[in-house]
Chain A
Amino acid sequence: MRLSIEQQALLAGKQGWAVQWAMEMLHAVGKACNADRLIPVSSSHLVLDPFAMGESGTNIVVRLAESGARFAVPSTINAISYDRCGKTSSEPSEHDRYQRTMLDACVAMGALASCSCNPFIQGIWPTFNESVAWSESATAPFVNSVIGARTNREGATAFASALTGLTPRYGMHLDRARQGQCLFEIDATVKGLDGYNLLGALVARRSSGRIPVLTGMARPELHEMIGFGASAAIVSNLTLFHMIGVTPEAATLNDVFPRGAPAAERITQADLDAERTRLSGRKNSAVALVSIGSPHASLAELQDIVSRLNGRLVHDNVSFLVTSNHSVTGLASAAGIMDALAASGVTVTADKMCFGCDLGARKYTRDTTMVTNSVKLAVLAPGSRGVNVLVRDTATCVEAAVSGECRT
């Protein structure tokens, strides 16, 4: 790991404590990952997780801001612990206070308080071949695979990159680390957000850390690609996938397998059905919770829910929760979609993460059945909320919300 004379000076503290703090982290990570040098990044996406960061993490972020540090590149913020729609029902928790303090400190350092785990539906995109430093595991597969920009799975290092505009050159930033390592032939009709979520989880698990290449697929819609990557990232460390004829670095098999493609493993409808069963809890017809929006729901998803509800009311026994961000809810308000959802009794929150925090006033138990189209929620909610989860398509989610039952 070679540092330029100027970078060595930053590491020695020439530009103050904050940049030195950042350089120490980048230097160690570079050595750990066999990077040869630091390269520029053009943006950073920061996770301010109040649970993982706690009081000590909050204090560091505040100290960075108070030292006068400013982010060197445009930096955006991940989903936060509370709803910014203004309808907070309860007193802010200790974690909400950490969250607010960290958010304020990052804004003081120049970050955009975008507050979403799905920056892609906010128009926040890097461009092809651009190196960036983005945290939130669900963003990395989309940045690398669908856009063809380059990021490793960042954590605390995203702060270091935001403060310096640098990242160690390893992993996803190297051409040779972006080739395919296993091949899947999709012999099934993959449909809807839930279908691509299940495929993402199945492919990620079967890849066992290798870079998967998928062939035989129809072109997924934007939110389905986002769901595929987020689902793969919650069950594995996957940061890159290729879909032949769909994603930009994989026009042909030869592009991703220059030394010849390996034998393809088939994925059938039966495999996808088995994955649905694996990721779902026990069947239970009485539904208390329907949750959509992990990652944050797009405008198209909100529109789809309104059209499927068609003016019908959510059942008295059901909470129908949709998590999204202000970019979407702002447009949805102007388009009359928020009023239609409110009239049907759907709760839409903005900027809040979908789990690990308040899911509403009701108490949930192992007997509470939640229906969702998101594998990420199916993996996280049983642990964080103690609920029984069923993974179903959007149509079934909406019907369960109206009837209070899920019989399929």
Chain B
Amino acid sequence: MKAMHPLKGVGVVGGVARGKAMVSATGIAFNLGVDETTGIVIEAGHELERQCIAGRVLVFPGGKGSSAGSFSLLQLASRGLAPCAIVNVQTDAVVAAGAVLAKVPLVHRLVVDPLTEIHDGDLIEVNGDDGTVTLVGAV
């Protein structure tokens, strides 16, 4: 992401959060795909396997797997292990409901592809109220 000006998208869950990006080109199943007690991705073969999502701006295409995933996101949040914000290409009901429960700002449908424009470790600010994503500092 070269531009410093905010990228416009659609805000789904409000709030503002800033953190380091963690980017996955694969969907994430919060139920059974992430350990609720550690925040570590446990899905076998997933590109984020063994990485901890706590406090990161999690950038991924959208949710997958069980619809129980919304409550898994709440469990992560109650232990301080949820991502600080979520950026999806196209989000879905399970991630959206989970982000409401976990009070995690969520933006999707950016004007650019977040999977290529945002890189692991970029410092990102997500504003769920006006639906924007801003690069604060590149890696």
A is bound by B: yes
Q: Please indicate the chain A residues that have their CB under 8 angstroms from the CB of B93 in the complex.
A: 29, 32-33, 152-155, 157
B69 to A29, Cβ gap below 8 A?
A: no
Q: Report chain B residues within 8 Å CB of A29.
A: 93, 96-97
Q: Does A263 contact B (CB under 8 A)?
A: no
Q: Is A53 located at the chain interface by the 8 A CB criterion?
A: yes
User: Complex: how many Å from CA A160 to CA B101?
Assistant: 11
The A152-196 residues at the B interface (CB cut-off 8 A) are: 152-157, 160
Report B57-74 CB contacts with A as 1/0, cut-off 8 Å.
000000010111111101
Whether the Cβ atoms of B97 and A155 lie closer than 8 Å is yes
A31 surroundings in chain B (CB, below 8 A): 10-12, 96
Tell me if A351 counts as interface (CB < 8 A to partner B).
Answer: no
| B96 contacts A28, C-beta separation under 8 Å | yes
Task: Convert A18-43 into 0s and 1s, putting 1 for each residue whose CB lies closer than 8 angstroms to a CB of B.
Answer: 00000011001101110000000000
Q: Give the docked Cα–Cα distance between A130 and B24 (Å).
A: 38
Main secondary structure on A side of the interface with B = helix
Chain B residues within an 8 Å CB radius of A137: 66-67
In the complex, are the beta carbons of B100 and A57 less than 8 A apart? no
Closest Cβ–Cβ distance, residue B94 to chain A (whole Å): 5
* Chain B positions within 8 Å of A25 at CB level: 97, 100-101
Q: Does any Cβ of A come within 8 Å of B125's Cβ?
A: no
How far does the Cβ of B27 sit from chain A's closest Cβ, in whole Å? Answer: 11
Interface presence of B53 (CB below 8 A): no
Chain A neighbourhood of B95, CB < 8 A = 32
Q: Is A216 an interface residue (CB 8 A)?
A: no
Task: Count A interface residues, CB 8 Å.
Answer: 26
User: Closest CB-CB distance, A239 to chain B, in whole Å?
Assistant: 11
Chain B contacts of A52 at CB under 8 A? 31, 66, 68-69, 71-72, 75
Given contacts A28-B13, A31-B10, 17 further A-B contacts (CB under 8 A): A32-B92, A32-B106, A33-B92, A33-B93, A33-B96, A47-B67, A47-B68, A52-B31, A52-B66, A52-B69, A53-B68, A55-B78, A56-B71, A156-B67, A156-B71, A156-B97, A237-B64
Instruction: Give 16 pairs: A residue, B residue, CB < 8 Å, sorted on A.
Output: A31-B12, A32-B92, A32-B108, A33-B96, A49-B68, A52-B66, A52-B75, A53-B68, A55-B78, A57-B71, A137-B67, A153-B93, A155-B66, A155-B68, A155-B71, A156-B97
Binding site for A on B (CB under 8 A): 10-13, 31, 36, 64, 66-72, 74-75, 77-78, 91-101, 106, 108
